[in-house]
Amino acid sequence: MAQLMLGKDTAAAVKADLDCEIEELKARGITPRLDIIKVGDKPEDKAYENGARKRFEKLGLDLEVTELPEDVTEDEFEKKLADANDDPLVHGILVFRPLPEQLDADRIARLTVPEKDVDCFDPVNIAKVLTGESSESGFAPCTAEAAIEIGERNGIDFDGMKVTIIGRSMVVGRPLAMMLLQKNATVTVCHSHTADLKESCKDADVIISAAGCAGLVTADMVKDGACVIDIGINVTEDGKLTGDVDFDAVSEKAALITPVPGGVGGVTTSILARHVVTAAQRLAK
């Protein structure tokens, strides 16, 4: 039976690391602050917002949310973004995506100040992930970083490991592949056009699924003793959350596995908080 990699344990470890840094900033009169800008009030956005609020309250950080109407114009959105960009009390900016069709997401990404872009939306931070500079001067996507964090906190050394990632989005799959290459993993990226997904997974030391497809990863795709990190979030017909992995069956073969809920999702807001603290430290210089 696999050992569970619980998000609460990793989140507690991240909090312990951050507490002293936050105290030092507050001693200098700086309280790290995140501004969330969202359009409408989608259930998935609300869930993330609530999780972030709880995490920031525990850490003593500030969080402000601007909710714009579904029919918001480009000019109106850009004005709110400019306000956050220019406000010296705002250290991190998070734009909830996807944005509605009337907004130019590429333009909005380019208008976000890179130093405050704590979830890797703008092209500057994306480029730094590709070149391996995000840990020094940029920010990687929070969910991708959370997947690595929960693995490493549970004793996984990615150096030399075969890692199969399912999903190629710019939010998780692609940047995660680049981040793991920096850790000297051998990475395979699978997607909806992969001819034989099972073949691509069954020799992997680590499988990371971010496809958003319930039950996608089955036991016959996982070798004995593998590590399985499930980033997928799906809602079943009876309203329950589930991941991409057939948890009960796969946990009988894997050595380590993340549950859904209770796994990577709980770490993502901790990484978001860490990025905001880091942004405050850099901006203070």
Identify whether 157 is part of a domain.
yes
User: What CATH number is given to the structural domain containing 223?
Assistant: 3.40.50.720
Q: Which amino acid makes up residue 199?
A: E
Residues 173 and 256 in one domain: yes
pLDDT at 98: 92
Residues 258 and 197 in one domain: yes
Residues 199 and 159 in one domain: yes
User: What CATH number is given to the structural domain containing 46?
Assistant: 3.40.50.10860
Give the integer Cα–Cα distance in Å for 134 and 179. Answer: 9
Ranges of residues in the chain whose predicted pLDDT is under 50:
none
pLDDT at 118: 98
Give, rounded to a whole angstrom, the gap between the first and last alpha carbons of the chain: 49
Exposure string of 39-76, with b = 16+ CB inside 10 Å and e = fewer, is: beeeeebeebbebbeebbeebebbbeeeebeeebeeee
Q: How many domains does the chain have?
A: 2
Residue-number span of the structural domain to which 46 is assigned: 29-113
Residues 187 and 236 in one domain: yes
Identify whether 229 is part of a domain.
yes
pLDDT at 47: 86
pLDDT at 239: 80
Q: What residue ranges in the chain does DSSP mark as E strands?
A: 3-4, 33-39, 62-68, 92-95, 162-166, 186-190, 206-209, 227-230, 234-235, 241-242, 256-257
pLDDT at 242: 92
Q: What is the pTM of this model?
A: 0.95
Contact assessment for residue 141 and residue 169, using Cβ atoms and an 8 Å cutoff: no
Nearest to 205 by CA among 149, 160, 147, 264: 160
